[in-house]
Amino acid sequence: MKNILGLLSMSLTLGLNTAIAQTKITEPGSSNSTAIKPDVQEPQAIQPEVFVYVEQMPEFNGGQTALVNYLSSNIKYPKAEQEAGHEGKAMAKFIVNEDGSISDVTIVRSSGSNALDGEAKRIVSSMPNWKPGKQNGKAVKTYFNLPIVFRLETNEKENQK
């Protein structure tokens, strides 16, 4: 038991010694005189936590139907992909900030087309503010995943042939 406590005490002492970095400085006008000054780092700004799940998840203003309408009326299907008949689904991940604005948009699952993925990122980045997520009654930054489906409309007469 004493050996374990001794090792623990020694490792804590070593940990403290390595955690406090020191810099040797020489006083001006004195070649032999030195002073030890602790190496102090600037405090870093604390980033607010981004939640994955909250009591009240973020919501597009107007709800799910309004979101679908917004996407369908604002997506600009890339011409080359349309002509080539490419379809797909991209999964966009983004943060809904405390004020409802959208930031940090990334494509976490590709549609298989860089052009479609780029359009998915563009449309999500350009969305109007959402109702933010809430935790304990307070608006918080919240991650949100949104599938963006690219599907070409087909003419029913062409399908009947």
Q: What is the CATH number of the domain that holds 57?
A: 3.30.2420.10
- Please report whether residue 128 resides in a domain: yes
How many structural domains comprise the chain?
Answer: 1
CA atoms of 30 and 152, how far apart (whole Å): 80
Within a domain: residue 2?
A: no
What pLDDT score was predicted for residue 148? 96
In the chain, % of residues over pLDDT 70 = 66
Q: Would 88 be classed as within a structural domain? A: yes
Total residue count of the chain as it appears in this document: 161
Specify if 41 maps to a domain: no
pLDDT score of 153: 84
pLDDT value of residue 37: 47
- What's the predicted TM-score (pTM) here? 0.66
* Dihedrals phi, psi of 100, to nearest 5 degrees: 90, -5
Residues 112-133 have a mean pLDDT of 97
Is 13 part of a structural domain of the chain?
no
Strands 88-96 and 138-150: antiparallel
Tell me which DSSP letter residue 31 carries. Answer: S
10, pLDDT greater than 50 = no
Structural domain of 62: 50-154
Residue type, 156: E
**What is the structure's pLDDT at 29?**
52
Q: Is residue 77 part of a domain?
A: yes
32-88: pLDDT as tens digits: 544 444 455 555 545 568 999 999 999 999 999 999 999 999 999 999 999 999 999
